[in-house]
Structure formats: C-alpha cells, structure tokens
Amino acid sequence: MLFSIDEDVGERIIGWLMPDNPAATPRILVHLDFDHHVVVEAFVYRPLLKEQGLHNTGVCGFIVDEANCPGVSAATRLEIIDADNNVLIYRRRNTGPLTEQKFLRLETQLFRSSGIDEQLAPQFQMSYQSMELLPEETTRSIFAIPFTNSIFSSGRIFFRIWEPLLRDRGFKIGILLREPFEELSERLLILKWASSPDVSSAVLDLMPALQTCAGALRDVDITDASALDAVLSHPSDEMRALLYNPLVYQLAAPNAFDPPPPGETAATLDALAEMDVVGIHADLHSFFDLLTAVLDLPDPLAELPLAASKTVIGFADILREMRSARALIEKDLEVYAEAIRILVAPSDAKT
C-alpha cells in the first residue's frame, strides 16, 4: 500500500491511495468526528500509477469535499484511514501546537512500550505504532510522507534496512535499551503464554512471530531448569529468531534474513552511536529529558512505571544462572554493558 496527500484547503482534500491488490479500487474512511464517518471510493484517474505498472486502472485518486463528505470544511478532528487496512493516511492539523520533527522510536521489546508512544503520538500530526506489522511498501510510504514534517513512528524494525531512507528524510532516531536477561525472560514467558490453547488467534495475528513459535513451549515446564535448559540449548530456528541476541540482530543485521557481519558487537555500538537519543530502562528520567530536548517538546514527558514485573525479574534471575541462556544473548550483554558504561558512569562519577 502506497499513499500521499496533495493538498488540504479546508473545503477540499486531494490525495491518492494505491492498494496492495493492483486490481482493486481503493476506499478511504473519512473520520470527521468520533461518531461521524464517511466511506469514499477512489474515482480519480492517476495516470502515473498505471503507466508505472503499479495499478491496473490507475483509478486510485480521491477528492474529499462537501459533495461527498458534508462537514469536511469545518472538521477539526478529521482523519483519513485506508478502509481496508486501517492505516492512517492523513490527519488534519488541529489548533494545538505540533512538534515539527520526524522521529522514529526503535522498539526492542516483543511487547511494545505503549505508554511512551501514547505520550508522544498526540504531539505529531502523523503517528504510527507497531511498524513491524506493516508491509514494506507501506513503511516506505510512511517514512517518505511529503506533506508534513511532523511524523512519529515506532516499531521493532531492522535499523540498517531503513536507515538510508530515514536519514534522507530527516528523521531523528531514538532507542530505549532493556537489560537483556529481563527481555529474554519476558520473551520466554510470552512464548509460554502464547502456547496456551486459550489464547485468541486474533491476538497472535497481531504478532506473527508468535504463531511460528506458539507450540515450542507447550509441553515444557519452564519452572523445571533441566527441561528449560534442554530447550534453550537446542532452540528451533523459529525460536532462535526471537531469542538469539535480538538487539544485535535488530541494529546490525543487513536485513531480516541474514545475520550481522563479523564484529557484530562493534557494529551494534556503531549503530547506537549514530542515533539521536539513547537511553536505558533503569534511567528512564534521563531518556525522557534528552528526548524532550532533542525533539524540542513544549512540556516534559510524564514519568512512567516501566519496571519489569516481579515474575519477569524472578525468571530473569533464574536465567542468569543458566549457561544456555547466557549463550543466547552473549552479544546483547556485551552491548548493554558498554551502553551502561557510557550512559550511566558519567552521571555516577558526579555523585
């Protein structure tokens, strides 16, 4: 899916939407208010989309005006959504101040830090979360949005794949690092939870990676150290993709299918050095202070209780004593230790 908006002059909005199916005629859902929605089917011929072989007919353009969408001129909470995929295409600027920055928060956790996103998203005209769930074409279209400089996005995407486009489009990039054993602990607990037959398939659809691993721990008692060690010593390829040095892979791998090049620890640290905002969960206050300054936010971000649960921490303590667990995240541990040395030591030295 690709999209763009040409203009919004109040009484008229012009744009286009190219669907994943080149034979389909796209539809948009115009939200004029919380309870006022209008569906508009594309009816404008966009010749370039057909000439370039992107769409069978080229009928991908739309005009939203008073004729097909009464009330558009006065709507201050207007949003346009892809009616089939529910992806935000356009949000009209409201009367409040917006951050004139483009920012990607690289998510490292299997379950995203929604509390951070909920604070940041309203401060930007366009906002997107869980980017890892979107098709590559849609992600590219979001990063290349031409009609605004106020864009927030977050997701567990591979940094080196998108870095050239992000830099070309003027994005700032931030990341919040988590202690590797705690992340491994949470991922294993999530996999165990996902193996339960009571888990809704709709929930698994939101995280495709869980589907391929859902049965790996179904018959394993993860409180049994011997049974868990057997699984971690010889993980399946699917489990390995989720558990093996996930931070290093996310930041240093050239793509989603090939491993990082030799010297992966140094390559990951180089990637972190190129980012605009780097922090750790143990010092969220400093991360928020730096984020506020880099993005020139009008108000400080509110403190959040991001500490891991007692269950996650307790399981992480067990994993620390297991050689097989340490072997899975050895490179992540090296990166995290160096990040702690750089980010925490200077402040400690002053006390």
Tens digits of residue pLDDT in 262-307: 999 999 999 999 999 999 988 889 999 999 999 999 888 888 877 7
**Angle at alpha carbon of residue 52, lines to 8 and 19, rounded to 5°:** 55
Closest by alpha carbon to 209, among 240, 175, 233, 235? 240
Question: Is the pLDDT reported for residue 347 higher than 50?
Answer: no
3-state helix/strand/coil string of 302-340: CCCCCCCCHHHHHHHHHHHCCHHHHHHCHHHHHHHHHHH
Which uninterrupted H or E stretch holds 342? helix 330-343
Both tokens of residue 215? 């049965």
Closest by alpha carbon to 99, among 262, 281, 298, 283? 298
> How far does CA 143 lie from the centroid of its chain?
12
Query: Which amino acid is it at 125?
Result: Q
DSSP state for residue 351 in the 8-state scheme: -
Question: Is the pLDDT reported for residue 40 higher than 70?
Answer: yes
Q: Using a pLDDT cut of 70, give the percent of the chain over it.
A: 94
Tens digits of residue pLDDT in 67-125: 999 999 999 889 999 999 999 999 998 767 899 999 999 999 988 888 899 999 999 99
Tens digits of residue pLDDT in 138-166: 999 999 999 999 999 999 999 999 999 99
Both tokens of residue 197? 């037959």
What is the structure's pLDDT at 220? 87
What is the structure's pLDDT at 206? 57
Q: Which CATH architecture has domain 97-351?
A: 3-Layer(aba) Sandwich (3.40)
Phi-psi region of 232 (alpha: psi -120 to 50; beta: other; left: phi over 0): alpha
Average pLDDT over residues 192-216: 69
Q: Residues of CATH 2.60.40 domain(s) within the chain?
A: 1-95
Radius of gyration of the chain from its Cα atoms, rounded to whole angstroms: 22
Q: Residues of CATH 3.40.50 domain(s) within the chain?
A: 97-351
Both tokens of residue 124? 């930007």
Question: Is the pLDDT reported for residue 207 higher than 70?
Answer: no
Q: What distance in Å separates the CA atoms of residue 299 and residue 63, rounded to the nearest whole number?
A: 37
What is the pTM assigned to this prediction?
Answer: 0.91
What is the structure's pLDDT at 199? 66
Average pLDDT over residues 306-326: 91
Q: Model confidence at 349, in pLDDT bands (50, 70, 90)?
A: very low
Tens digits of residue pLDDT in 231-267: 999 988 888 888 999 999 999 999 888 889 899 999 9
Class of domain 1-95: mainly beta
